[in-house]
Amino acid sequence: MASILDRFKENTDGGKVDYNTLPKMKIGIIGCGWIAEAHVASYKMCPDVEIVAAADLVPGKAEAFCKAQGLEGVRCYPDHKSMIDNEQLDAVSVCTYNRTHAECTIYALNKGIPVLCEKPMAVTLDEAVEMRKAEKASGKILSIGFQPRLDANMQMIKKIVQSGELGKIYYIQTGGGRRRGIPTPYGTSFIEDKTAGIGALGDIGCYSLDMVLNAVGYPKPLTVSGYKSAYFGTRPDYYPTHPEYAEKFTVDDFAAAFVRLEGGIILDFRIAWAMNLDTPGDTIILGTEGGLRIPSTECWNGTTGGPMKIYHEVCGEQVETVIPEIEDDTNLLFYKKIRSFLDAVRFGGKAPVPTEQIIYNQAIIDGIRRSAECGHEVSIEVPEV
Ligand SMILES: NC(=O)c1ccc[n+]([C@@H]2O[C@H](COP(=O)([O-])OP(=O)(O)OC[C@H]3O[C@@H](n4cnc5c(N)ncnc54)[C@H](O)[C@@H]3O)[C@@H](O)[C@H]2O)c1
C-alpha cells in the first residue's frame, strides 16, 4: 500500500509530475524562529526546492538558524526588505510574529513574489485588507498557513456539512482551550502586544474559526459581541522560572464571542490559553436535519479529538451515526501545506488557503477585539477588494 505521503503526492499532481526532474524553485524564509523550522523541514522534503535566503531582525539569528538546520550556502539578511531586494526568489515563507505578517507579505507581493504567510493572517482587519489588495494587484499567490484544513478528518467535517446531511445550519458552537498552555517555549513573542498583537484569540482561535467557517462555506460575518481577558498570563506565579513574563503579558489569554453570520447562522465561540477547566466543550454544528459533534482536541494538534457523531432521525427514530476516524498522519500536515502552496505557484492553481475566506476569519477576530474594548456589540464591515 502506498504511504500517506505518496498518496498525497498522487492527490496533488495526479501522479504525473516527477518533482525530481523540475528546475528548483528558489525560496526565502522571512523570520527564523520556532515555526520556520517546520517550514524548512517540509521544504527539504520537496526535491524541486532550494532554500537560498533567510532573514531575521535579530542580528546573527538567521545565520545561527541556517547552521542549526543544516542549510548550507544560504545568504542571510537583517530584514525582509534587504533579502527580497537582493535575491531572485520564486516564493517566500513569512514566519514572523503576527505584527509583521502584513508588512512582509505586502512587500514581497509588491515585488511579484508569491507568499505563504503563517496564521493568523494579520493582527487587524485593516492589515488583512491591505494584504489582499497587494495580492490582487500583483496577481501572485498568497496562501495562509492553516495546515489543519489538510487533515482528512477535518476535511470530513466539510464533506458532511456540504452533503446536506445536516440540513440548514443555524447554530455553531466552537472553540477550545487548555487548562494551562500559554505558549512561551522560545520567549515572549506570543504574549507581547508589540510582537503578537493578539493572544489566544489569534493563535488558536483562528483555527477553531477556520474549522467551522470552512465547513459552512465561509459566510460573511455581520455582528459580534466579544469579550477578552488576561487573568492567567499576567500572574508572576504562572511562570515559575520566568516571573518577569507576567509584566510583558499584554495580550488576551481567553476570549469569547457571539457572532451573527450571513444566512441566519449563529456562532458561539470561546478560546483559552489558560482556564480552570479541561475543555470549554466540543464543537457542535446544528442543522435542521442533523447535528454534528466534533470532540475537542488539545487545541490544536491539527485534527479532530476523536470519532465524530451525527445525531439525526432515521424512519422517525432518533439515532446516532459514528463517523470513524480516518487514518492520517498529522506529522505530514506541514508538508501538505508547503507542497500544496508550491504546486499552486508552479502550476498556476488557486491558493490552497485563500485570503477571500481568511479575511472573514480575521474580521471576526478584529470584531471580537473591538467589541471587547468598547464593551458592546459591533458591526463587521469587510471592504470589497
Ligand atoms: N501553523 C502553525 O502550526 C504555527 C505554529 C506556531 C506558530 N505559528 C505562527 O508563526 C508565526 C511565528 O511564530 P514563531 O513561534 O516562529 O515566532 P518567533 O518569535 O519564534 O519567530 C519569529 C521571528 O520573526 C522575526 N521577524 C519579525 N519581523 C521580521 C522581519 N520584518 N524580517 C525578518 N524577520 C522578522 C523575529 O525576529 C523572530 O525571530 C506566528 O504568527 C505564529 O502564529 C504557526
Provide the strand spans (E) within the chain. Answer: 25-30, 49-55, 75-77, 91-94, 115-117, 142-144, 169-177, 221-229, 254-261, 265-272, 283-287, 290-294, 308-314, 317-323, 378-379
Residue nearest to atom 39 of ligand 1 (CA): 33
Distance from the CA of 105 to the center of ligand 1, in angstroms? 13
Distance from the CA of 200 to the center of ligand 1, in angstroms? 15
Distance from the CA of 311 to the center of ligand 1, in angstroms? 41
19 Cβ closer than 6 Å to some ligand 1 atom: no
CA distances from 113 to 55, 160, 194, 303, 336 (A): 15, 36, 27, 31, 20
- Which ligand 1 atom lies nearest to the CA of residue 78? 33
What is the CATH number assigned to the segment(s) 4-147+333-354? 3.40.50.720
Domain ranges of the chain: 4-147+333-354, 150-328+361-379
207 Cβ closer than 6 Å to some ligand 1 atom: no
Residue nearest to atom 1 of ligand 1 (CA): 145
Kindly give the confidence (pLDDT) of every residue in the chain, 385 residues in length, as a single tens digit, with 9 standing for 90 and above.
Answer: 455 555 555 556 556 688 999 999 999 999 999 999 999 999 999 999 999 999 999 999 999 999 999 999 999 999 999 999 999 999 999 999 999 999 999 999 999 999 999 999 999 999 999 999 999 999 999 999 999 999 999 999 999 999 999 999 999 999 999 999 999 988 999 999 999 999 999 999 999 999 999 999 999 999 999 999 999 999 999 999 999 999 999 999 999 999 999 999 999 999 999 999 999 999 999 999 999 999 998 788 889 999 999 999 999 999 999 999 998 888 899 999 999 999 999 999 899 999 999 999 999 999 999 999 999 999 999 999 9
360 Cβ closer than 6 Å to some ligand 1 atom: no
d(CA 215, CA 265): 13
Residue type, 123: V
Distance from the CA of 283 to the center of ligand 1, in angstroms? 28
CATH architecture of 150-328+361-379: 2-Layer Sandwich (3.30)
382 Cβ closer than 6 Å to some ligand 1 atom: no
| Nearest in space to 308 (alpha carbons), one of 161, 177, 153, 165 | 153
Distance from the CA of 244 to the center of ligand 1, in angstroms? 22
